[in-house]
Chains A and B, each alone.
Chain A
């Protein structure tokens, strides 16, 4: 094993429920294996650390061509017509389906995952430009978000790290 601790940094730019999980799962795996983890939240990704939004992330069926009826127990890969995806209630329905599936697999919620990551030593940062654009403040974020930093700060903070953009 190398003497220097391996470092991984994630840039989370998406606020959809399905796009919230990759960094959480890989970040947790990294911490469990002794790898240093930094997560930078930018643009819609800030929903993952916004106190008011973290428990309400959603997955929309519209424009998602991979989401098939088999998620609802219909065998095969029958598509969901796009116009149906736009009907009122379809996004909450798809979201509930995904949350139930995750719960069934014993996967923590986004909020719980974030607490686990922070307790395990992950460093979380919010993007300054996005924060300014959305009119947010540090108090709007969950505990564990260390600071609001610029893109340049991020470069300094992640020196020597492998960077993954999500």
Chain B
């Protein structure tokens, strides 16, 4: 298993750069991961979605799909694609320290 050092902390990641242990995730790490994905600043709107993903993953053990995010967090599809442009499905999960979402919708 590969590791990566973010904000001075060494975390486990898979070969696509997704963190494999959600417990190693912190909000500071999320800020750094977001920068790697081209998102320079995480606003309250970003955090609302990230927090929802974290809670959802605790409950289900999996990263939520985009549709689960829109129906659960109140964010719209447009919000998701504006806040996390060019591939929100992977980006949200990666920044939230979760694996790739499973499920097609």
Contacts and interface: CB of A to CB of B under 8 A. Distances in A.
Interface stretch (B3-11, B27-35, B46-54, B76-84): B76-84
Given A25-B104, A28-B105, A106-B105, A119 B76 contact: yes
B81 A120 contact: yes
Interface residues of A, number: 17
Contacts of B22: none
A33 interface: yes
A32 interface: yes
A31 interface: yes
Interface string A10-33: 000000000000000100110111
Contacts of B67: 106, 108, 116
A29 B104 contact: yes
A33 B105 contact: no
A118 B2 CA distance: 38
A34 B91 CA distance: 9
A78 B89 CA distance: 40
Contacts of A116: 67, 77
A25 B67 CA distance: 12
A107 interface: yes
A34 B87 contact: yes
Interface string B45-84: 0000000000000000000001100000000111011000
Report which residue of B66, B80, B88, B105 has the largest number of chain A beta carbons within 10 angstroms of its beta carbon. Answer: B105
Interface of A: 5, 25, 28-29, 31-35, 106-108, 115-116, 119-121
14 contacts: A25-B104, A31-B81, A32-B66, A32-B87, A32-B90, A33-B87, A33-B90, A34-B91, A35-B87, A106-B105, A108-B105, A116-B67, A116-B77, A120-B80
